[in-house]
Amino acid sequence: MTKKISKLHSLFNYLIIRFFYLKRIFFSKSVNFNKFWKNFDKKKLPEEMIEIIDKFLLSNSKTFISGWWKYNNIKDIKALSNKGIENYGEIFLHYYTWYDWSNEEIEELLKELKDEKIDIKVNIYKKHEGLNYNESFKLNILLLSLYNLLKMKDEFVYLDKLKDDSFCSNSHPFIEIENKKITHDKINSLLEVSEIKKLNLLNDNNNILEIGAGSGRLADTILSIKDNCKYIICDIPCALYVSYFRLKKNFKDKKIFLAINLNDEIDLNSALENHDIIFIFPHQLKYIKKKFFDLTLSISALHEMERNVIKFYMDNIGYVSKSLYFTVWKETLIPFSLKGTKLYANNKSYFIKEEWKEISKKSNFFPNNIIQKAFLID
């Protein structure tokens, strides 16, 4: 009887594994981004966004996009066409806005705040567009908690430097705490800056590369605090267009350049020298000169890539950058990966070179199951 149960159990496990494998195959084949883009009615999309996607699909970077981001891009393009780029804050809630969490994800934050008393003005019951009442209330509670955490940090003084026009317009969900408009983007970005500054990685005249910048929130924050930094964003559509739209609108005095047409070492490096904020595709990293960047950042992006793409990035970061700071899930299975790729927050999963000096490895402030890692490369 025991043998029969064991065999049935093994068969059941086998069928479950096959089911998810076949599901991945079906999903990956059904998410044909090229076909979607070719047939999609683009009349309501911004011309620059159309240009970016067209050129991306003709570039060597087109293979860098995972099944997960093909899925997200199709969903986001439909939403942008329907609601317009001016509402990207509501559309891109999945970039880094939390309105639900597990006990593991929230535990350390609440331990840190366990002795705090709340006696401040806050519209905690605000309902947000794109979120239901339950999601809105959870987001508001989290924003209040993270705000109190930020008040303990030196970087709290920078909160007033972050423009509401950039962080709170475009349908970004926000609440008012002590007469300040507070968004997830503002608080998270300043808490990340706090961690990076502790490691002495962020200085006034840094050349910074960010891989997978999402909506451009961290770039917006760093450039608002460190005015003399040069910032290069390396990303795929649609995110590349959203960060370009955001930073071009917020930093009108900066020399901003969309460098996606440059596939020559001389031309690209000349553009990097002569502009303040530059946008590139992933494959263009190989044209950048040695150790041009003082710091490379990647916030919650690498764990959504296939292993060959992660290796490409790490090989190139080792050549072009002097230091690296990134955050990834402690453990993750890449969504909709045909290879069933599972990643762990260790050096092997992320192709960290033996000669790089690890200067930090710790759990995130929130969620706790995201790990921060930092290395000196040069």
Reported as a single tens digit per residue, the pLDDT across 250-304 is 999 999 999 999 999 999 999 999 999 999 999 999 999 999 999 999 999 999 9
Report, as an integer, the average pLDDT of 152-178: 92
Please say if the pLDDT value at position 245 is more than 90: yes
- Say how many C-beta atoms besides its own lie within 10 A of residue 30's C-beta: 11
Please say if the pLDDT value at position 378 is more than 80: no
In a 3-state reduction of DSSP, which class is residue 319?
Answer: helix
Please say if the pLDDT value at position 200 is more than 90: yes
Report, as an integer, the average pLDDT of 110-128: 89
Higher-confidence residue: 116 or 214?
214
Higher-confidence residue: 101 or 58?
58
82, amino acid identity: N
Report, as an integer, the average pLDDT of 194-212: 96
Please say if the pLDDT value at position 33 is more than 50: yes
Closest CA to 64 of 268, 276, 286: 286
Report, as an integer, the average pLDDT of 237-260: 96
Residue 156 has a pLDDT of 96
The whole-angstrom separation of Cα 196 and Cα 365 is: 13
The whole-angstrom separation of Cα 163 and Cα 1 is: 69
Closest CA to 313 of 201, 203, 209, 202: 209
**Which DSSP string corresponds to 111-179?**
HHTTT----S-B-TT---TTS-HHHHHHHHHHHHHHHHHHHTSGGGGGGGGS-HHHHTSTT---EEETT
The answer to whether the CB of 54 falls within 8 A of the CB of 77 is no
The answer to whether the CB of 337 falls within 8 A of the CB of 67 is yes
The whole-angstrom separation of Cα 32 and Cα 364 is: 35
The answer to whether the CB of 286 falls within 8 A of the CB of 82 is no
Residue 127 has a pLDDT of 94
The whole-angstrom separation of Cα 316 and Cα 7 is: 48
The whole-angstrom separation of Cα 255 and Cα 218 is: 18
Bridging pattern class, strands 357-363 and 331-333: unpaired
Residue 14 has a pLDDT of 41
Bridge partner residues of 296 (DSSP)? 209, 324
What is the percentage of the chain residues whose pLDDT exceeds 70? 91
- Reported confidence tier of residue 222, pLDDT bands at 50, 70, 90: very high
Q: Which residue shows structure tokens 């690296």?
A: 324
CB hemisphere CA count around 100 (13 angstroms) = 7
Residue 22 has a pLDDT of 42
Residue 27 has a pLDDT of 46
Residue 249 has a pLDDT of 94
Residue 4 has a pLDDT of 44
pLDDT tens digit string along 63-88? 999 888 898 999 999 999 999 888 88
Please say if the pLDDT value at position 98 is more than 90: no
pLDDT tens digit string along 9-23? 444 444 444 444 444
pLDDT tens digit string along 327-357? 999 999 877 676 777 899 999 999 999 999 9
Residue 117 has a pLDDT of 84
Closest CA to 293 of 235, 210, 221: 210
In a 3-state reduction of DSSP, which class is residue 32?
Answer: coil
Tokens of 304: 């959504």
- Name the burial class of residue 4, with classes exposed (0-12), middle (13-18) and buried (19+) by CB atoms within 10 angstroms of its CB: exposed
pLDDT tens digit string along 169-181? 878 899 999 999 9
Residue 338 has a pLDDT of 66
Segment (H or E) for 242: helix 239-250
The answer to whether the CB of 288 falls within 8 A of the CB of 268 is yes
Residue 150 has a pLDDT of 96
Please say if the pLDDT value at position 313 is more than 50: yes
CATH number assigned to the domain covering 190-376:
3.40.50.150
Q: Would you list the domain boundaries of the chain?
A: 1-30, 103-182, 190-376
Closest CA to 281 of 326, 246, 312, 247: 312
Please say if the pLDDT value at position 323 is more than 50: yes
The whole-angstrom separation of Cα 41 and Cα 63 is: 24
Bridging pattern class, strands 175-177 and 256-258: unpaired
